[in-house]
Amino acid sequence: MSPRSCRCQTVLLPVRDYDLDATMDSGQVFHFAAVGGGWEGVVGRDWVRLGKEREAISVSFVARDAPERSQLLERVARFLQTNVDLSRIVATFPNDGVMERAVQVCRGLRLLKQEPWQCLASFILSSTKQILQIRQICAVLSERHGPAVDAESVVARWHGFPSAEQIARLDEKDLRACKAGFRAPYLLGAARLVAEGKLDLGGLDEVPIAEARSRMMEVRGVGRKIADCALLFTGSHAGAFPVDVWVARALRELYFRGREMPLRELEHFASEHFGPHGGYAQQYLFHYVRVHGLKPQAARRTSTRPP
């Protein structure tokens, strides 16, 4: 049938200072696909297409009755955090030249609020993987083992991300077949802990960050960095500050003149320097160095490399 006769409805979510592309493409979420200038993916159990509008984000979805529609829109707004006043967060960033440039360059970059299990699982799969490959693994995992959802996409059939229960029923070799590699047993172990109720991801925002971290790090395959990603990108702890290879490089080059620094010291510096929304600042640093490199003031080591 013709894809133009659409069962879709579209609603506008008003928002200012929101760069949807940067946000979706900044390595915090791996389950949306760029389609025709917008983004398609699954929120909860519902397929959505997100589009950029003036002072708004358009949300398209398969038509349904009024109560379900308002529930869906509430979930999408919560996921996108459209109610967050970005300027209030940016105002808490440290008053240094590095963050001023990062804010200029990444204007409108946001943090999303993702579902805890999906977020943790994705970052377990992220270790020593490029962002493109993380997306691929998540896509295969969803296609093969996640719930099919009703979608009006013209480019793909969509599935949700498999629940902890669904993954817990699988075998390690099923996960290796999805390109999970050596992370397969880690993901399986995490899924079993969550499915058996031995790890309550929903309660982690109610305990101090140190406690939340150590609970998560009891999962094999989850260290400090992945724990902080899961705490930050689910909106549980605004002070979580994941230090990966990019952020470590950025901190060394931009704050320590390129000097070698132990990871622990970088993490400690970050927790002191970037304020109550350190995690947000971290995302600006990450995106800044990934998109623009470290050239502006720290080109010493790379100056022989062609631009």
DSSP lists the bridge partners of residue 35 as: 38
Shortest Cβ 88–DNA spacing (Å): 21
DSSP string, 158-206: -BPPPPHHHHHTS-HHHHHTTT-GGGHHHHHHHHHHHHTTSS-GGGGGG
Q: Is residue 127 part of the contact set for DNA (CB under 7 A)?
A: yes
Q: Is residue 278 part of the contact set for DNA (CB under 7 A)?
A: no
Q: Which is it for the CA torsion 264, 97, 286, 14, positive or negative? A: positive
Q: Is residue 130 part of the contact set for DNA (CB under 7 A)?
A: yes
Q: Is residue 157 part of the contact set for DNA (CB under 7 A)?
A: no
Q: Are 261 and 252 in contact (CB under 8 A)?
A: yes
Q: Which is it for the CA torsion 276, 23, 266, 256, positive or negative? A: negative
Q: What is the DSSP letter of 222?
A: -
Task: List the x/- string, 182-201, binding to DNA by CB under 7 A.
Answer: x-------------------
- For DNA, the closer CB: 123 or 161: 123
Q: Is residue 1 part of the contact set for DNA (CB under 7 A)?
A: no
Shortest Cβ 263–DNA spacing (Å): 8
> What is the number of other CB atoms lying within 10 angstroms of the CB of residue 107?
14
Q: Is residue 242 part of the contact set for DNA (CB under 7 A)?
A: yes
Task: List the x/- string, 246-265, binding to DNA by CB under 7 A.
Answer: xx--------------x-x-
- For DNA, the closer CB: 61 or 286: 286
Binding residue for DNA, selected from 121, 167, 227, 298, defined by CB under 7 A: 227
**Nearest residue to 274 via CA among 35, 102, 83, 52:** 102
Q: Is residue 244 part of the contact set for DNA (CB under 7 A)?
A: yes
- For DNA, the closer CB: 160 or 278: 278
Task: List the x/- string, 281-300, binding to DNA by CB under 7 A.
Answer: -xx--x--------------
Helices (H) and strands (E) in the chain, counts: 14, 5
Binding residue for DNA, selected from 56, 73, 217, 299, defined by CB under 7 A: 217
DSSP lists the bridge partners of residue 52 as: 57
Binding residue for DNA, selected from 145, 225, 237, 277, defined by CB under 7 A: 225
The order of strands in the sheet holding 8-14 is: 8-14, 56-62, 46-53, 38-43, 33-35
Query: Which residues form the interface with DNA (CB under 7 A)?
Result: 26-28, 123, 126-134, 136, 176, 179, 181-182, 217, 220-227, 229, 242-247, 262, 264, 282-283, 286
